[in-house]
Chain A
Amino acid sequence: MKGKIQQLAIKELRESLHDTYFYAIAFIVFALFVFSLSLNSITFRNAAQIRKIAQERVRRQWLNQGEVGPHGAAHYGITAFREFSPLSIIDRGTMDYTGRSITLETHKRNAADHTLARDHNSLLRFGYFTPAFILQYFFPLVIIILSYSSITSEKENNTLRMLLSNALSGKQILTGKLLGIFYKLLIIYLPVVALFLGFVVWPQALPTDHLLSLWLLCLAYLVYFMIFALITVSVSSYCNTSRKSLLVSLCIWISVCIFIPRLAVFIAGSAVPTPSTYRYSRELEAKYKYDFSEVYKNIEQALVNAEGVASAEDLSVNPFGYALEETEERGQKVYESVYGNIESKFHQQDATARFTGLLSPLYSLREISMELCWTGTQEQIHFGQQAEEYRRKMMYTLNMDIAHHSPYEEHDFVKKKITYAQDKTLWEMVPDYKYIFLSLGTILSNQKSSLFLLTGWLIASLILARYSYKKITI
Chain B
Amino acid sequence: MIFHIFSYEWKKLRSENLLWISTFIIAFLIVAAFINGKQWYDFENKTMSGIAADYNTQLDTTRNNLLTNSDPRLPMGIDAPQNPSRFYASYTLGTAKPLKPIAVFSIGQSDLYPGYSVFSARDKSKLIQDSEIQNPVHLMTGKFDLTFVIVYIFPLLIMAWSYDLFSGEEERRTTVLIRSYGFSLGRYVLCKALFQFLLISNVFSSVLLILILPSHQQLLSAASIMDVVFFWALAIAYILFWFSVSLVINALKQSSLFNGVALISVWVILLLGIPYMVSFRAIHQFPIPSREIQALTKRTIAKQVDRDKALEKIVSQNPEFGRFRTDTTVQLIFEATHGYPKYVSYQNELEARYRLMEDSVLDQLLSQERACRLARFASPSLVTTQAMNLLAATSTVNFVSYMKAREDYYQQWRQQNMERVLMKQPVYLDDLDRIAAFRWVNPAPYTLVLAIKDIAFLIILAGILSGASLLQYRNM
A residues near B (Cβ < 8 Å) are 47, 50-51, 53-54, 57-58, 61, 65, 76, 79, 81, 93-94, 96-98, 100-101, 103, 110-111, 113-129, 137-138, 141, 145, 242-243, 246-247, 250-251, 254, 258-259, 261-266, 268-270, 273-282, 284-285, 338, 342, 345-346, 349-350, 353, 367, 376-377, 380, 414-417
Contacts and interface: CB of A to CB of B under 8 A. Distances in A.
A404 B188 CA distance: 93
Interface of B: 32, 35-36, 39, 43-44, 47, 50-51, 54, 108-109, 112-113, 116, 118, 126-144, 148, 152-153, 156, 160, 163-164, 171, 255-257, 260-261, 264, 268, 271-272, 275-276, 278-279, 282-283, 288, 290-296, 299-300, 302-303, 334-337, 339, 361, 365, 368-369, 371-372, 382, 386, 389, 395-396
Contact of B127 (A117, A261, A275, A281): A281
Most chain B beta carbons < 10 A, residue from A54, A273, A350: A54
Contact of A278 (B47, B272, B335): B47
Contacts of B132: 274, 276-277
A274 B135 contact: yes
Contact of B290 (A50, A94, A285, A346): A50
Contacts of A274: 132-135
Nearest to A415: B336
B278 A123 contact: yes
B32 A121 contact: no
A94 B336 contact: no
A119 B272 contact: no
B272 A127 contact: yes
A100 B291 CA distance: 8
Tell me the dominant secondary structure on chain B's binding face.
helix
Given A120-B279, A276-B132, A367-B137, 14 more contacts: A54-B292, A120-B283, A121-B368, A122-B395, A122-B396, A123-B278, A125-B142, A126-B271, A265-B141, A266-B32, A266-B36, A269-B138, A279-B47, A377-B136
Given A243-B257, A278-B127, A94 B293 contact: no
A376 B264 CA distance: 30
Contact of A277 (B108, B131, B138): B131
Contact of B137 (A123, A265, A342): A265
B337 A417 contact: yes
Contacts of B386: 122
6 contacts: A111-B128, A122-B369, A125-B142, A126-B272, A247-B163, A274-B135
Contacts of A273: 39, 43
B127 A94 contact: no
Given A123-B278, A125-B142, A97 B126 contact: no
A270 B126 contact: no
Most chain A beta carbons < 10 A, residue from B126, B288, B290, B294: B290
A117 B139 contact: yes
B152 to A, nearest CB: 6
Given A97-B140, A276-B132, A121 B276 contact: no
Contacts of B32: 263, 266
A57 to B, nearest CB: 6
B279 A250 contact: no
Most chain B beta carbons < 10 A, residue from A270, A276, A284: A276
A349 B138 contact: yes
Nearest to A249: B260
A122 B295 contact: no
Contacts of B295: 54, 79, 81, 101, 103, 113-114
A214 B365 CA distance: 35
A145 B337 CA distance: 77
Contacts of A338: 128
A345 B138 CA distance: 12
B258 to A, nearest CB: 10
B133 A280 contact: yes
A24 to B, nearest CB: 12
Contact of B140 (A94, A123, A279): A94
Nearest to B167: A243
Contacts of B164: 243
Contacts of B134: 274
The 4 A-B pairs at the shortest CB distance, nearest first, are namely A123-B279, A114-B291, A94-B136, A126-B275
Contact of A129 (B35, B276, B396): B276
B389 A122 contact: yes
A404 B148 CA distance: 61
Contact of B257 (A115, A246, A254, A263): A246
A278 B361 CA distance: 25
Contacts of A263: 32, 144
A250 B264 contact: yes
Nearest to B94: A278
Contacts of A118: 112-113, 131
Contacts of A54: 292-293, 295-296
A101 B127 contact: no
Contacts of B292: 50-51, 53-54, 81, 100-101, 114
